Structure 1
Amino acid sequence: MAKGKKTLFFCQNCGYESPKWLGQCPGCREWNSFVEETVSATAKGKTTASGSTTGKKNEPVILADISIQENDRIKTEIEELDRVLGGGIVPGSMVLVGGDPGIGKSTLLLQVCRQLTGKGHKVLYVSGEESLGQIKLRAKRIGEFNENLLLLCETNLENIRSVIEKVKPEMVVIDSIQTMYNEEVSSAPGSVSQVRESTGVLMQIAKGMGISVFIVGHVTKDGSVAGPRVLEHMVDTVLYFEGDRQVIYRILRGVKNRFGSTNEIGVFEMREKGLMEVKNPSQVMLNGRPTDASGTAVVCSVEGTRPILIEIQALVTRTNFGLPRRTSVGIDYNRVNLLMAVLEKRAGLHLGDCDAYVNLAGGMKLGEPAIDLGVVLAIVSSYKNQVIDERILIFGEVGLSGEVRGVSMAESRVREAEKLGFTSCIMPKANVESLQGKYEIKLIGVANIKEAMNCI
């Protein structure tokens, strides 16, 4: 082995280092996640997340002397993206965008480039996966671009740094971080060492020059960004692009944001000319729902600061086998089993010999406990073959003793329901008192699932 180089083992999940192979990572407790890489001893630890590209030493500054302006944010004019980012792009920030292949990550970022260059901002788009001709074909589908957009096909990070220092753009897009490599690191592109060191260099550029950097990250089979977990810790914002390629709707979800609220979502529709904003997702999600079918209920979930109304569908049938089948789409499978057990014990429904299928319409994925009551009443509706009035909205958290607990942001949920023409709302009794008399919609407070079942 060459002088100055040594072999280390890295955890592909969290980046933990070890001089020897381990079956289980001591850091994240994952099994069989260690890979062997050759590392340059002199380059190890050379880059830092907050270093300066000028080489000058940073001096401490009094907090009171630092002035900030909220209007320094750069508006992308794509309202759904601005919402998720917390009001626009913060100069000098670093944003990681992850998602399945073909979901629309590159298309969205190219549309952002088009909007910003149209306002006079200079943008550099660096691609390590596509040729200039391929990017041109995609850009032609989106619309016209001006001379403020510069394209670069390069994977060498030092060459990219020199181009950025020469061009001085206001925003840089790196597509993708797994294709970039640093010559000082001897391992292959996409390895733990390369991803970590490359992100460190880009962080220096973003913070040292005040340039906003967007990084595209590949995802693993379980949906998380490929590479070490430290990658998500280093960046300022982490956005996940969710959805199925066979479904036209895409969800952009913020899972980390140092400059805004987390779990905020933006909804897009994939069309021939790119991604189009869906400004009223509740209305879109409820289009085409059945009006006289049992097993359907409309619930309200709050994602970030936005209330979204969506239809829950349940189908309960007698099983033909000894072991009943349970399937859920868009809702946590274990949560559905728990709610069915509560119905068995607290409401006396005999579901042990029934197959149950629960689906969230529109391709959405929700995990908020406030949709529990809607899932319960949809299952009851299908089991009893009893239709729930299409003008009733349902929300509330269900406990193991069958009680319906209060939820947060009840007022915004009721306001959204009234705006879309709902006449009644089945909700926790704990939330009714503070809202009584404020809205024309009829508020029905329930304390447990038996009271809720009597309301449909």
Structure 2
Amino acid sequence: MAKAKIKFVCQECGFESLKWMGKCPGCHTWNRMVEEVERPARAGIPSGLSANDSKAESIDAIDISQEPRVLTGSSETDRVLGGGIVGGSLVLVGGDPGIGKSTLLLQTSSQLAVKGLKVLYVSGEESAQQIKIRADRLNILTPNLLILSETDLTRIEAQIAAVKPDFLIIDSIQTIFHPAVGTTPGSVGQVRECTGHLLRIAKTSGIATFIVGHVTKEGAIAGPRMLEHMVDAVLYFEGERHHTYRILRSVKNRFGSTNEIGIFEMREEGLVEVGNPSEMFLSERSQGAPGSAVVASVEGTRPVLVEIQALVSPTAFGNPRRHANGIDHNRVSMIMAVLEKRMGLYVGAQDAFINVVGGVRLDEPAVDLGVALAIASSFKDTGMGPNDVFIGEVGLAGEIRGVSRIEQRVKEAQKLGFTRCIIPSKNLRGWTPPAGIEVVGVDSIQQAFQIVFRG
């Protein structure tokens, strides 16, 4: 009979070694090598994802009519998932502690159960009584929602076979363990093995499964990076604990776009959808204040109007400070260099603080023009038009480049009552602006300055 072997595994990247090392050669972190027992594989344990007697077939002959998406009852969640839940999919949900991951999944479970679908909610962190207390607060009462407080994966599999649920929730994967793996729950080996078992169950039985993953202090999902490769979709639930708004963001989705976001508001009765995020982001805007600009960004298929604030002041230190919240720091530095070189604004000796209001993160270059004008407005201490929206990418030569989906951005601005939209001249061709809003095209940042500060 083969003997069990001892190995040391890094808890950050999964690097394996026969001896302990203080510094992991894989990810170069310190004191993350943990001793694990590697037992020989047992016969009879399935290693694949497909059922027995499977055979290759032509892609033209594969029938997908029996795999419709199931709507969760939340339009924001369905948007992020790509139009609903795909049967047999495995979805990983991550987020900071206390941000509302369990509340989101409990409400989603309730909405599915109300439709007559059977949902098994497995919690390794709370007892059934604790979940019941939270469910009463959220006004969740449905017999199709089954609660199981268990951490042993073999017992969970037995309950899945007995209950035969349509959907499965695991909260969280770091608390689940398999007895055949001789390590503690949450270790790299346990997370990898348990996720593999859940993936096999989801694919062979068609049960859509959601698993909650803890995050590290850097904000990444704890455990091996392979965990994110195994699942079909990775969702991050973001937000500030001292603010009520939460953002559900898709960073991987095999069945939809990875640029979609869902906006929720945390209230006493649970998470409530925000149907018009643009209005929410602009609700407390100080109109005409220096350093404030409104930009039109596109998140997935949804146009969103967001306020960008800039504060520029002379530095009191040798090196000026550059702080960007919600936008790429390097992008801000590039825009400030363009302003100094092309517009003669000596912002190199100024401290600059850029903030995207509402906690949303903007990654597309279409917001460059708004960032540049907000910085210039703060530097000049001059306010801009309170009803102006800015769209455009700023190039290194000071030119304003065209962006995509200009019609959707302008219509969103017109719907919210803005009267003028500054866009690239290239985007004026091929469409007719809606009534009630003036659309002005610019070719360079010099033209934008003349219109905004002198027009």
When normalised by structure 1's length, the TM-score is 0.94
Q: Identify the residue that residue 162 of structure 2 maps to in structure 1.
A: 166
| Unmatched tracts of structure 1, length 5 or more | none
Q: Identify the residue that residue 242 of structure 2 maps to in structure 1.
A: 246
State how 1:270-281 maps to structure 2 within 5 Å: 270-281=266-277
1:9, 1:18 within 8 Å by CA — same for their partners in 2? yes
Q: Identify the residue that residue 12 of structure 1 maps to in structure 2.
A: 11
**1:76 counterpart = 2:75:** no
Q: Identify the residue that residue 36 of structure 2 maps to in structure 1.
A: 38
2:67, 2:87 within 8 Å by CA — same for their partners in 1? no
**What's the offset of the Cα at 1:20?**
4.5
Which of 409, 415, 419 aligns to 2:415? It is: 419
**What's the offset of the Cα at 1:448?**
1.9
CA spacing shift, 1:44–1:277, aligned 2, 3 Å? farther
2:68, 2:87 within 8 Å by CA — same for their partners in 1? yes
Residue type at the aligned position of 2:9: F
1:263, 1:304 within 8 Å by CA — same for their partners in 2? yes
State how 1:344-423 maps to structure 2 within 5 Å: 344-423=340-419
Question: Distance in 2 between the 1:49 and 1:393 partners?
Answer: 54
1:96, 1:239 within 8 Å by CA — same for their partners in 2? yes
Question: Distance in 2 between the 1:191 and 1:443 partners?
Answer: 56
2:421, 2:440 within 8 Å by CA — same for their partners in 1? yes
1:327, 1:358 within 8 Å by CA — same for their partners in 2? yes
**What's the offset of the Cα at 1:206?**
0.5
Residue type at the aligned position of 1:193: G
CA spacing shift, 1:181–1:36, aligned 2, 3 Å? same
State how 1:316-355 maps to structure 2 within 5 Å: 316-355=312-351
CA spacing shift, 1:196–1:418, aligned 2, 3 Å? same
Residue type at the aligned position of 2:64: I
Question: Distance in 2 between the 1:34 and 1:64 partners?
Answer: 48
**What's the offset of the Cα at 1:352?**
2.3
Residue type at the aligned position of 1:43: A
**1:60 counterpart = 2:56:** yes
Q: Count how many residue pairs are aligned between Structure 1 and Structure 2.
A: 450
**What's the offset of the Cα at 1:16?**
3.8
CA spacing shift, 1:290–1:445, aligned 2, 3 Å? same
Q: Identify the residue that residue 127 of structure 1 maps to in structure 2.
A: 123
- What is the aligned-residue identity percentage? 55
Question: Distance in 1 between the 2:3 and 2:392 partners?
Answer: 61
2:11, 2:34 within 8 Å by CA — same for their partners in 1? no
Which of 299, 307, 320 aligns to 2:295? It is: 299
Q: Identify the residue that residue 224 of structure 1 maps to in structure 2.
A: 220
1:47, 1:197 within 8 Å by CA — same for their partners in 2? no
**What's the offset of the Cα at 1:369?**
1.4
**1:116 counterpart = 2:112:** yes
Residue type at the aligned position of 1:128: G
Residue type at the aligned position of 2:269: K
Question: Distance in 2 between the 1:449 and 1:424 partners?
Answer: 17
**What's the offset of the Cα at 1:87?**
1.0
Residue type at the aligned position of 2:404: S
Question: Distance in 2 between the 1:293 and 1:49 partners?
Answer: 61
Q: Tell me which moved more, 276-285 or 61-70.
A: 61-70
Q: Identify the residue that residue 152 of structure 1 maps to in structure 2.
A: 148
2:310, 2:355 within 8 Å by CA — same for their partners in 1? yes
Residue 389 of structure 1 aligns to a residue in which SS? coil
Residue 122 of structure 2 aligns to a residue in which SS? strand
Q: Tell me which moved more, 230-239 or 14-23.
A: 14-23
**1:179 counterpart = 2:179:** no
1:47, 1:200 within 8 Å by CA — same for their partners in 2? no
Which of 445, 448, 456 aligns to 2:444? It is: 448
Deviations 1:47-93 (A, max 9, x none): 646244xxx23222332222113872111111100111111111111
Residue 116 of structure 1 aligns to a residue in which SS? helix
**What's the offset of the Cα at 1:394?**
0.6
Q: Identify the residue that residue 285 of structure 1 maps to in structure 2.
A: 281
Question: Distance in 2 between the 1:19 and 1:321 partners?
Answer: 50
1:86, 1:260 within 8 Å by CA — same for their partners in 2? yes
Question: Distance in 1 between the 2:163 and 2:8 partners?
Answer: 38
Residue 430 of structure 2 aligns to a residue in which SS? helix
| Unmatched tracts of structure 2, length 5 or more | none
Question: Distance in 1 between the 2:230 and 2:435 partners?
Answer: 45
1:396, 1:406 within 8 Å by CA — same for their partners in 2? yes
2:293, 2:370 within 8 Å by CA — same for their partners in 1? yes
Question: Distance in 2 between the 1:50 and 1:172 partners?
Answer: 17
**What's the offset of the Cα at 1:102?**
0.5
**What's the offset of the Cα at 1:325?**
2.3
**What's the offset of the Cα at 1:35?**
1.8
